[in-house]
Amino acid sequence: MEADTRTEVVLLACGSFNPITNMHMRLFELARDHLHETGKYKVVKGIISPVGDGYQKKGLIEAYHRVAMAVLASESSNWVKVDPWESEQEEWVETAKVVRHHHEELLMSGQCKDEADHVKKGKKRKLRASEGGVSEKLLNTAVPELKLLCGADLLESFGTPNLWKEEDIAEIVGKYGLVCVTRSGSDAQRFIYQSDLLWKHKKNIHLVNEWITNDISATRIRRALRRAQSVKYLLPEPVLDYIQSHNLYSPDSEEKNADVILAPLQKHANLSK
């Protein structure tokens, strides 16, 4: 039997998921197909990481609900799961930190495969590979590559002043990698071209073309819900039931954080003072 030499990949999607929609779930499917079709990758896991309430985005409802809905949406998936770690943090966490956290989790679970009883969570261990030689143990449990899954809006948000730290962008595209699903591939390509930083790491930015347009933005879903319009067939059925039984998304919920500045903008404005 031929050995599978493909690189294992884990896709991490960060976002508000306010609420999670069929479009979010589609991102995972499209990204997986795309990476598989290159013949070089094997996507082994998808992680949904809803942002914490500390993000202070207008209309952001409690993390508790957003996580519950994401769990309902991914229940029937055998490879995409929700990780509530980010949502449980008191303060907003930079995306680069979230990626780092999940990368460390992967490292530790890789070692857990060898030494199930011995690894204690929280203890960092250096990979022998980083010392120049790959141990036999690690060959069998090679750590999958973690990539940030997103839409074109996130890619282009790299250009918003004070939203991202330059070194965070460099870490995400340089050390980990981006899988960006977009309808307008040429706009995304142009955006990458116009940024020296992104251009440098373009090999690590995978653009996935979304031919079947699915413009189900969570903002429009919330608008429809406020207006008592149907969103059936746009969200997974259990998510719809949850929203209805908990009466989420009203004009009041949309006013939440209306007078507050988004956490990353606040943080970076303070730093530049």
Partner 1 sequence: GRYKVIEGIVSPVSDEYGKKGLVSATHRVAMSRLALETSNWIGVDPWESKQQHWSETVEVLRHHYNRLLNPDHLKGSVQDTRVNKTGQDKQDMNSYPGSPQLKLLCGADFLETFKIPKLWREEHIVEVVGKFGLVCVSRGLTDTHRFIHESDTLTRHRHNIHLVREWIQNEISATEIRRALRRGQSVRYLLPDSVIEYIKQHDLYTAESELQNAGDILQPLKTNTE
* 209 lines the binding site for partner 1 (CB under 8 A): no
Packing angle, helices 22-37 and 63-74, rounded to 10: 50
Closer of 199 and 233 to partner 1 (Cβ): 233
Site membership for partner 1, residue 179 (CB under 8 A): no
Smallest gap from Cβ 41 to partner 1, in A, equals: 15
How far apart, in whole angstroms, are the C-alpha atoms of residue 55 and residue 30?
27
For 199, other C-beta atoms within 10 Å of its C-beta total 11
CB 179 within 8 A of CB 150: yes
- Token pair, residue 185, equals 């591939």
- How many C-beta atoms surround the C-beta of residue 37 within 10 A? 10
Number of residues that bind partner 1 (CB under 8 A): 25
Sketch the per residue contact string, 76 through 115, with partner 1: x for CB under 8 A, - otherwise: xx--------------------------------------
Tell the smallest beta-carbon distance from residue 245 to partner 1 (Å).
15
Residue 236 contacts partner 1 per CB under 8 A: yes
From the list 57-65, 95-103, 162-170, 205-213, the region that binds partner 1 by CB under 8 A is 205-213
Identity at 48, one-letter amino acid code:
I
Please state, in angstroms and as integers, the Cα–Cα distance from residue 206 to each residue in 65, 167, 233, following that order: 31, 20, 29
* Min separation Cβ 30 and partner 1, Å: 7
Residue with smaller CB distance to partner 1, 30 or 51: 30
Binder among 30, 47, 192, 205 for partner 1 (CB under 8 A): 30
To partner 1, the closest distance from the beta carbon of 211 in angstroms equals: 6
Which listed residue (212, 228, 258, 271) binds partner 1 by CB under 8 A?
A: 212
- Determine the interface stretch with partner 1 among 96-104, 126-134, 160-168, 214-222 (rule: CB under 8 A): 214-222
Instruction: Out of 108, 112, 224, 265, point to the residue binding partner 1 (CB under 8 A).
Output: 224
* 211: contact with partner 1 by CB under 8 A: yes
To the nearest whole angstrom, how small is the minimum distance from the Cβ of residue 215 to partner 1? 4
Give me the sign of the Cα torsion angle 172, 173, 179, 185: positive
Rounded to whole angstroms, the Cα distance separating 60 from 66 reads: 9
Which among 18, 24, 25 has a CA at the least distance from the CA of 87? 18
The number of C-alpha atoms within 13 Å of 245 and in the hemisphere containing its C-beta is: 9
Is the preceding omega at residue 19 within 30 degrees of 0, hence cis?
yes
**Cα distance between residue 236 and residue 104, in whole Å:** 31
The correct pick among 163, 197, 234, 265 for binding partner 1 (CB under 8 A) is: 234
- Give the whole-angstrom CA distance, residue 178 versus residue 175: 10
Q: Which positions lie near partner 1, rule CB under 8 A?
A: 22-23, 25-26, 29-30, 32-33, 76-77, 211-217, 220-221, 224, 231-232, 234, 236-237
